[in-house]
Amino acid sequence: MTEQEVSELAAFLVDEHGNAALEIAQGRRDQYARERQSDAYRLWARITAATARLLRARRPEEVSC
């Protein structure tokens, strides 16, 4: 999966779940924690990181309102 696709999935999570998106992504990642070399774990780790970056980038907008 490309970085753009991962970023789009992260944006979808944030749009759908707001600040809870990070917890949701972490929960999905943690479902595969016993298999850290699995594709599923690595994909959800990337989505989790992208979600965290997106939320950090959006917080200044929320504060400035």
58-63: average pLDDT: 62
The CA distance from 40 to 55, in Å, is 22
The CA distance from 8 to 4, in Å, is 6
The CA distance from 7 to 50, in Å, is 6
The domain locations on the chain are 3-64
pLDDT, tens only, 13-49:
999 999 999 999 999 999 999 999 999 999 999 999 9
